[in-house]
Structure 1
Amino acid sequence: MRKRLLITGASLLLALGFFALPSFLDYRMNSTADHGPYQASAAAQALHRQLWIADLHDDALLWQRDPLQRHSYGHTDLPRLLEGNVGLQVFAAVTKTPRGLNYTSNAADSDNVTPLIIAQRWPRATWSSLLQRALYQSERLQQTERDSQGLLQIIRSREELRQALARRNPEQPTLAAILATEGLHPLEGQLANVDVLFNAGYRIAGLTHFFDNELGGSAHGLAKGGLTPFGREVVKRLEQRHMLIDLAHASKPMIDDVLAMATRPLLVSHTGVAGTCPGPRNLSDEHLRRIAAGGGLVGIGYWDGAVCATSVDAIIKAIRYSVDLIGVEHVALGSDFDGTIHAPFDTRGLVLLTDGLLKAGFSAEQITAIMGGNVQRLLLQYLP
């Protein structure tokens, strides 16, 4: 009897440890160098309060923490986003990552996300379907919207964005949210699933993530090739649905292929630039120029792989380089918050970027554009 009790107790402890693991991983992997409070100059604080800030990439939907509750770990939640004066946050759906994830060479035959979502007690349908994982993350954000008492609104069209902007009140700020995919492997090889994702609220589509998929090559994959025939069909369908295409994580040949066929501006939601930080996924000067020539936007990331340091100065350096090369109207923010990065600050610390941009000699007009104005302009023109 005692042996049976010991076995039962040990099994219970193991189960409890398994279900507690996601929060532990979230705490360890979504970390910050500076936990605040965040100090900035009086001029930066005054300007920051006037901004409408947009961030093009956040993976918070992967984690089990409640987006409506303030947390002491991770990078974002609704209270901290509003405190940081964020007007629009793009939430990306992560549906698969390879074991042994690295920046240079990953196969597609393994998955870290499956055990994570099982431990987080996601619906059983998500355990074996990448499409269902994307749909569930959409449902999570929709439930957050319903429970937010009007503080969060999912944006699906340019008219909804106009309405959200008109309602925004500095005395009681609200957050607009847009859904994006972190790679289009949730299509599961079916073109019709573009429409399924669109109907679920997705308006930005990243084509690849850390491995090559049915659409083509990842910057971190094995073949690192260009668009496949299926990928070309998907790009055409995305443009027909007025979904914005995101080239973050795409291989260089895939970027070339998409640039050659795109008829609408392209995004690179979270990236670095090779001119300040060489790396497998950081954009060359040529790609920066071609993306800008098509009216696109480049979201500068905050982590060391993007800017080669964990610091505000490194982010500002990448922004300065990009602005000087392609013009201020093509540069935006792309934090990669909650994407298992070590960031200089959480979303409350965005005032540090405003302060850094001022110190680097950017004008208030330029800072307004970089911190969110460019994203607002693009979305008001190119959302459905």
Structure 2
Amino acid sequence: MPSKKAIYKVVAILVILAVIAFFVFFPAQLDKQTNRLHDSNLPVISEQARALHRQLFIGDWHSDSLMWKRDLIENHDYGHVDIPRLQQGNVALQMFTTVTKSPDGINYEENSTDASDNITKLALVNLWPISTWDSLAERALFQASKALELAQRFPDQVSLITSKSDLSQFLEKRKANPKLLGMLLGTEGSHALDGDLSNIQRLFDSGFRMMSLQHFFDNKLGGSLHGVSGEGLTEFGKNAIQTMRSLGVMLDVSHSSEQVVKDILAMSNQPLLISHTGFYGHCPSARNISDDLMQQIAANDGLIAVGYWDGAVCEPNVTEIAKAIKYGIELVGSEHIALGSDYDGATSVPFDTSELVYLTQALLDLGLSESQIKQVMGDNMLRYLQAHLPD
């Protein structure tokens, strides 16, 4: 009979192996369960759609892929985005957004700032650095570091874009290397500032060129579309916006309260972004702001990027996504519409980034012209970046 000491040793080894197995295998399982592809009727791809898709310059304003423990240089059979699948989908530009706080029991109606935070749990499970456990700014910087490492290690596949000159160089390189991806960095909410204006400069210095103001809850800058107060910009928020604009940071109001959006429009005539959304007139969801406010954003030369998930388009299939895009074109004009998938943002979508040709086909099926499709799929994003990236 084994001694108690031997039994304790075996138990200790088993516990250690179980802990190792958890941290090795659970993050991928969580990713698979959270970022799903659902069964959906996908259109038959015509030769016209294939030929057009090969010609497109495609850009997407919103993917949360850096949040997950997934090596983006490798091809995966789960989640929505990695570099090989972006290349397969003929994507030229991808904005990667960093999620730093997300409330437990998340919903689009009302979330308290005191709600338990899902990203703290994710940081622990995915073994993020200790500095990220209680600092939202460090969480954003850590996620950005993964993108920067990709660009440094694989310059023939990934190019980080932080300025107009970077963008021009990328476009030249891509003529000879059509698989080259232009990567940009943005925040999912300015709670990533940790309430400190100096963190805007820190994030800018690390490559961030788009910052959204709110996420699912009110913060020091003002009210969220899904928060409690419904309030507009605070004095801190106004100061933050002035600092961002002085650096050349593009402002994203995807989750901002309607009053925050109105306050920003009243501050200046600089165009705004909505990096991932739907249209209330097409999908009356609490996730989507009013059509009237969308028209005001567009009238100020803003850009509205349409998402692929239920909160944005109500019925998340490729036809409804295409209908949302068509609705937006009819509401504000094709020059103000872009793509904002919200891939890997705890969403369930009908196709991943390698399968974007299905969207091209669906847009053709709805009667959009090839010129309109080119605008929406990426030309508008390129134009906006050429105008609003810092010099």
TM range (shorter): over 0.9
1:91 aligns with 2:91: no
Specify which of 376, 379, 382 is matched with residue 373 of structure 1.
379
Q: Distance in 1 between matches of 2:44 and 2:211?
A: 36
Matched residue type, 1:81: L
What is aligned with 1:65? 70
CA RMSD of aligned residues (A): 1.7
1:323-381 per-residue CA deviation (whole Å, 9 max, x = no partner) reads 01110000000000000100010001110111111111111111110000001011101
**Offset at residue 127 of structure 1 (A):** 1.2
Residue 25 (str. 1) matches residue 30 (str. 2): yes
2:268 & 2:59 partners in 1: Cα distance? Answer: 24
1:165 is aligned to 2:156: no
2:157 & 2:41 partners in 1: Cα distance?
24
Matching of residue 244 in structure 1 with residue 250 in structure 2: yes
Instruction: Say whether residues 1:105 and 2:110 are aligned partners.
Output: yes
Cα pair 1:36 1:349 within 8 Å, conserved: no
Supply the distance in 1 between the matched residues of 2:75 and 2:260 (Cα, whole angstroms).
39
Q: SS at the partner of 2:59?
A: strand
| Counterpart-to-counterpart distance in 2, 1:309 and 1:36 | 12
Please point out which of 270, 273, 295 is paired with 1:264: 270
Partner of 2:361: 355
Question: In the alignment, is residue 319 of structure 1 matched against residue 309 of structure 2?
Answer: no
1:17 shift after superposition: 2.2
Which 4+ runs in 1 deviate beyond 4 A? 34-39
Aligned length: 384
Give 2:132's aligned residue. Answer: 126
Q: Is the 8 A contact 1:153 1:176 kept in 2?
A: yes
The CA distance in 2 between the partners of 1:383 and 1:73, in whole Å, is 33
Q: In structure 1, which of residues 285, 290, 315 is the aligned counterpart of residue 291 of structure 2?
A: 285
Q: Return the letter of the residue paired with 1:130.
A: L
Unaligned stretches of 5+ residues in structure 1: none
Cα distance, 1:149 vs. partner? 3.8
Q: Percent identity?
A: 44
Deviation at 1:42, TM superposition (A): 0.5
After TM superposition, the score normalised by the length of structure 1 is: 0.96
Query: Partner of 2:279 in structure 1?
Result: 273
Residue 14 of structure 1 and its aligned partner are, at CA, apart by 4.5
CA distance in 1, matches of 2:378, 2:169: 17
1-structure distance, mates of 2:142, 2:68 = 12
**1:128-179: per-residue Cα shift (whole Å, max 9, x none)?**
1111111111111010111224211110001111111122137642100110
The 1:125–1:242 alpha-carbon spacing in structure 2 relative to 1, beyond 3 Å, is same
TM-superposed deviation, 1:12: 3.7
1:65-214 matches, within 5 Å, as 65-109=70-114, 110-169=116-175, 172-214=178-220
- 1:55 maps to 60
Which of the pair has more CA radius of gyration?
A: 2
| Contact 2:137 2:194 survives alignment (8 Å) | yes
Moved more, 6-15 or 271-280: 6-15
Separation in structure 2 between the aligned mates of residue 86 and residue 8 of structure 1, nearest angstrom: 47
Shift in Å, 1:20: 2.8
Distance in 1 (CA, whole Å) between partners of 2:197 and 2:378 is 32
CA contact (8 A) 1:34 1:345 kept: no
Deviation at 1:15, TM superposition (A): 5.0
Q: Which sections of structure 2, spanning at least 5 residues, go unmatched?
A: none
Seen in structure 2, the aligned counterparts of structure 1 residues 367 and 328 have a Cα distance that, compared at 3 Å, is: same
Cα pair 2:65 2:344 within 8 Å, conserved: yes
Aligned partners of 1:33 and 1:310 also within 8 Å: no
